[in-house]
Amino acid sequence: MDSVAALFCTGALLAGGLYWFVCVLGPAEQKGKSATSLSGGSISSEKIGDKFKQYWSFFLRPPSEIRAKDKDTVPDFVDTFYNLVTDIYEWGWGQSFHFSPSVPGHSHASATRLHEVRASDLISATPDHRILDVGCGVGGPMRAIASHSRSRVVGITINEYQVGRARAHNRKAGLDSTCDVVCGNFLEMPFEDNSFDGAYSIEATCHAPRLEDVYAEVFRVLKPGAKFVSYEWITTDKYRASDEEHVAVIRGIEQGNALPGLRSYADIATVARAVGFEVLEEEDLAAPPAGPWWTRLKMGRIAYWRNHVVITVLAAIGIAPKGTVEVHEMLFRTADFLTRGGQSGIFSPMHMILLRKPSNAASASASAAK
């Protein structure tokens, strides 16, 4: 009898421990995705491991080689990346897949919203405007900006799974009448010329092999006089290509985030002017006196470890796809590279550039610049 009781107690402790990991510690934030429902997006469970290997092999190559030989296939691998990571991002990070400066007295969620609302204010979004979200993900920024500005926001993402997630979140937030999501490539957007009153992109255009291609498309669909703000991932003036540590950090960021090569801060305005934009303002929002954006990653090390244990256990018992473990391990390593990039000052995920399409501009100007 004693052995039966001991076995029962052991089983109860294990069940309680699993519940504690998954249901109590597992959800780092309230975001509508639980550990037990992690998936590979549009990728079937049995193919996640293979797709991850294909993705990793592709981005292991030097960015110059990717841009020269395989730039046309980059969107497909970016799509694969977001199939692999979207559920993990939502579960452990929230509905806004980007960084923000830490703000004294504000939580990460509050600082994130302030960062998003700033983009809305920079482009002077108003209730009668139709605004474009270039690379909307699952729509966290979209909902914040629509709620703040009362504008109608249309988002575009290359990932079909994210479209479904964004629409579900929009309905749950009661914003499906003001927020819409389209599946498409922001290098060839399915929108008419001169059809938007403003546009923003928050840490999304870094996935483009050539920045001028996505900027030219934004230029095309904006009405003359409309503004576009982008928060860009860049290497700063502290980056040295001759420094092996610098190179290793930047390559780690690129490989773990589906990037065909980070751009220098000095290139952004040049590209914008080349496609026809007027540059109104440019600032690295991560630079002092802004609070360090990477503290969220450093403080989240325990959460990353905890979540990795959860995923490993769930994969072992057949609830989570096995390939999810390798994907999460990649994200854990990438978080370290991002932290090192922030601490050393060689990388910023929020180089802000505010642009305007000239009032006398013709949409053909952007096409000619391609």
Give residue 2's pLDDT band: very low, low, confident or very high (50, 70, 90): low
Full-model pTM: 0.89
For range 33-58, the mean pLDDT: 91
Confidence tier at 297 by pLDDT (50, 70, 90): confident
User: Which distant-in-sequence residues (6+ apart) come within 8 Å of 355 by Cβ?
Assistant: 227, 228, 229, 230, 272, 277, 278, 279, 280
- Give the 3-state secondary structure of residue 154: strand
- Looking at residue 23, the DSSP 8-state letter turns out to be I
Whether residue 366 has pLDDT greater than 90: no
**What one-character DSSP code corresponds to residue 46?**
G
Domain ranges in the chain are 45-315+324-369
- Which tokens is 274 given? 């080349």
C-alpha distances in Å from residue 291, one per residue of 106, 223, 295, 347: 11, 35, 9, 15
pLDDT digits (tens, 9 = 90+) for 306-339: 777 888 888 888 888 888 999 999 999 999 999 9
Question: Quick one: average pLDDT of 241-257?
Answer: 98
CA 318, distance to chain mean position in Å, is: 28
User: What are 60-96's pLDDT values in tens digits?
Assistant: 999 999 999 999 999 999 999 999 999 999 988 899 9
The single-letter DSSP state of residue 192 is: -
Q: State how far Cα 164 lies from the chain centre.
A: 16
Over range 286-296, report the average pLDDT: 90
Q: Is residue 220 over pLDDT 70?
A: yes
Q: How far apart are the first and last CA of the chain?
A: 79
Q: Is the pLDDT of residue 279 over 60?
A: yes
Mean of pLDDT over the chain: 89
pLDDT of 98: 96
In the chain, what percentage of residues exceed pLDDT 90? 74
pLDDT attached to residue 310: 84
Architecture per CATH, 45-315+324-369: 3-Layer(aba) Sandwich (3.40)
